[in-house]
Structure 1
């Protein structure tokens, strides 16, 4: 039945509801629309989903989707390492496949602190030395992470009994975070439809693996460049792109060569396996990120973990209310950085102590000696709920993606203190949009940090700009989480989404970049010049030869 016919058929009932008041009419119309439009969306019975997540903050994101899938009746099985930091056995939510790979060097809290110190050291170098040293560090980090991923997937694929059990389960699809390709390789080995919960892939942004990424206006990962670049900036960006491609080709891919030879058909290639994913649930929103080319099977779900604030525990609520009209400033450096270098922590604590606002700081290190009476230190707090509190005035953040999207969702301006990885790029995007300020950790002083805080709190433009981002982020037909679950179920219903894959994925690089066409054009151009020249020369020689022959006679 058409929408018009449905609506007309329901008009008598709607008239009766109208007599009861506007609220009843609104409810009736909402139910009618849900019935009409919902009828066009295919239903999916409870499916079996194999989940291969990544640890750390990536798992925080994945859990949000898993809880939603579980609430919709899907059966979930999570592959996890027995030495996982965050991924625990949670039988009420999912079944676990526990893998015990060979012991390998892994990231610890001490190693992250060493990375932080190294990052501060690099930031004090000239650009050229900084770039070279950074690329060397990146190569080391890639080898470490991907060697651990290799050990994980090797342990699984070498276990014939486990792989047979996985095949026997007849999963409907694989949901994985492809930051490291263990889940990608397992999905290809089991020949499962594949959905990504993705932000990073190999050596950079996930878009780079399948969508055009012109270096003229698409900043590379960790470039700390805006979308509008000058000539020198574009040159730097191009150098980073070339370096990224070389890191991928000569550092990352060889790590998996031996595994591919043992467990996959001849000619199997990791990059081709990565590109074959049916749907890429991209953890970004162009309200925050810079616009760039995309593909039909990329679905944007940035901020899907955000939600309206819940009531705070009584003690925290009392602290928030005690701030009066000045309000509260919140500070968090994320879960992986347990402590800040002592000189930085002391400078920050002294600046916070001079604020009229109350301060809540997630901090687990040695208590700074300059800490003021207005500052509350906690090992953990409900960050999303605090950001949504009406007393919140500013958020001091290291620039992690989850925290940035929560700040955007709740419209709270940010003072950024980037330390590692993508945090510099994330905070640059907020600063460019006038929604925050960045403080350089290598030159931070009590005065400079206090000035930045007072500027962000006191200048209404920061809150107004962040409020604009928040309205744009929320102004959508379907929530990011509902969008993610729809497309996961879409892949279940249709056994994949091959119709969304562009032909470019199967092209050799010289075809994709039109090198063969360029060579053809150049060849035709050369022939168009050479053929007449050769013909004229041949004709001239014939004329001269005939003339000479006539003279001889």
Structure 2
């Protein structure tokens, strides 16, 4: 008992030491003054990413204000993490209409409709995106014309504007308010983010959608170039026609709308080089791929019991993201039938009609804790649609993939994973119980898929700083220094003729041609003089 007792002097010394230690820690710590951040988000799945940054900013004592349209899909009007400025206007995204269009698109692809009908459906999807941009610009124009709102935004003295440039509303507002601009970015209105800010040689930088790697044959480079031309025409039709008139009307005819994007201070890129092929980049591009990933939390008792009942066989997790909660019935029947033939347990997010072929090993849920299930040691395969969030969580937790890409960038995302040997990809138009079961068995029982994904996971995790911490550092860097112009190239202000030095090459060629012409003229003149003298002497 006496061994546990300390003399009074020792206790006094201990308390004194603790107080000194605490004082030193307090003095040595950097005081954090919270900044003010204005957020102009993109609704839908993009908001899931933005909300993670907002929560982290709030935890670091920053005050966040979110601009929210009245018909917002995901963005809640009240939150512990941010204040809202509710705009009495449309955000442009019709959840029901968009979901219905996606379902119709899937059904027509499945039924093998005529090529013309399928093209018309793809065209309809493109028109939806066009209308979203058009409505968004109407919202921004309404804001610009609301002098009371604009003055209140100026009076708030925000330190920066954080936005997702997949749509341009935040960029236009930031430019009008004169605020430093930080992007949470994978896409801009003109396509993949790097294409707008960094050199992208077509010889080894594949255009998204071309389904090419950075190692291209001559034929593939031709394909990549043609994809680039098609993308350029698509941009002129879809984006230039809406953004150019708006920018000319509000900022002057000498301003191109992409200059406003390219003048952003920091580009927080939602990928890294475990996902992206090697390519040139820029000093103000900060990679935060997997910033939303985190260690898994314990499952609910019911879900944990179901997972544990899988024994040594493990679990398959399937979800197709926010836009597709249910599949056409024939696809759902085939998928359920394939699952029923496996010894693994299956957890499937599916809100449609219960398939008649559903086996006892499959649990249907309206919602599932994706990150927590992917981080569970019994999860063997992730069946996904190819959204960036899901793929990065699979990489983080080292879970190989079976892909059912549906639209947008999902095919390209899965192509990158297939090229790395960590995914088996199926076409939703031709998937059936046999090829789906074959794909599942290949990924489950061929060790290379799991081994390569674990290697990819180790590469992703082996970083000196967590991606979310890196993102926060650069956001706070912009706050402290009121921007980051020293990291931003001025090349976006140059014309294509200047950027590619066509004027310089033309000038040098003209000089060479002039020198060559003068040289030839002098030679001819001297030759004539010599000839004339010779002729005179002869005579």
Q: 1:313 aligns with which of 271, 288, 300?
A: 300
Distance 1:337 1:423, change over 3 A: same
Q: Which runs of 5+ in 2 are unaligned?
A: 1-17
Question: 1-side partners of 2:112 and 2:146: how far apart?
Answer: 43
Partner SS for 1:79: strand
Q: Which residue of 2 aligns with 1:505?
A: 492
Residue 112 of structure 1: which of 89, 95, 102 is its match? Answer: 102
Q: 1:51 aligns with which of 27, 36, 39?
A: 39
The answer as to 2:486 corresponding to 1:496 is no
C-alpha change, 1:42 and 1:516, in structure 2 (3 Å) is farther
Q: Aligned equivalents of 1:459 and 1:279: distance in 2?
A: 42
Select the residue among 425, 435, 448 that pairs with 1:461: 448
- TM-score (ref. length: structure 1): 0.87
CA distance in 1, matches of 2:252, 2:158: 22
Which of 280, 283, 286 in structure 1 is aligned with 2:273? 286
Partner of 2:366: 379
Contact 1:142 1:252 in 2 (8 A): no
**In angstroms, what is the RMSD of aligned CA positions?**
2.9
Q: SS at 1:325's partner residue?
A: helix
Partner-residue secondary structure (3-state), 1:73 = coil
Q: CA deviation at 1:348?
A: 1.2
Question: Match of 1:361?
Answer: 348
Contact 2:404 2:425 in 1 (8 A): yes
Specify the alignment match of 1:101 in structure 2.
89
- After superposition, the Cα gap between the structure-2 partners of 1:103 and 1:331, relative to the gap in structure 1 and judged at 3 Å, is closer
Provide, for residues 377-426 of structure 1, a one-character-per-residue CA deviation record: whole Å limited to 9, x for no partner. Answer: 11101000001111111100111100001101111110111111111111
Structure 1: 5+ residue runs without aligned partners? Answer: 1-27
**Are 1:122 and 1:134, in contact at CA under 8 Å, matched by a contact in 2?**
no
Q: Distance in 2 between matches of 1:254 and 1:498?
A: 30
Give the number of equivalent residue pairs. 517
Residue number in structure 1 paired with 2:284: 297
- In the alignment, what sits opposite 1:530? 517
**Does structure 1 retain, via aligned residues, the 8 Å contact 2:71–2:90?**
no
Cα shift readout 1:434-466 (whole Å, capped 9, x = no counterpart): 111111222222111111111111112111111
Equivalent position to 2:183, from 196, 200, 204: 196
Aligned partner (choices 202, 207, 217) of residue 230 of structure 1: 217
- Following TM superposition, by how much is the alpha carbon of 1:135 offset from its aligned partner in structure 2, in angstroms? 8.7
The alignment partner of 1:116 has SS state of helix
What is aligned with 2:15? none
Look up the match of 2:6. none
Deviations 1:233-280 (A, max 9, x none): 111111111222233344312312333244324522211110111110
1:326 and 2:313 matched: yes
Query: What is the CA-CA distance between 1:161 and the residue it aligns to?
Result: 1.1
Equivalent position of 2:425 in the other structure: 438
Structure 2 residue corresponding to 1:67, chosen from 55, 59, 62: 55
Change (3 A) 1:202 1:171: same
C-alpha distance in 2 between matches for 1:354 and 1:131 = 33
Partner of 1:518: 505
User: In 2, Cα distance between the equivalents of 1:103 and 1:475?
Assistant: 39
Question: If the length of structure 2 is used for normalisation, what is the TM-score?
Answer: 0.89
Question: 1:277-333 CA distances to partner (integer Å, 9 max, x unpaired)?
Answer: 111000001012211110001000000001101111111111101111111101111
Q: 1:445 to 1:115 in 2, by over 3 A?
A: closer
1:481-531: CA deviation from partner (whole Å, max 9, x where unpaired): 111111100000000000001232222211111211221232233224322
Change (3 A) 1:119 1:446: closer
Which residue is 1:88 aligned to?
Answer: 76
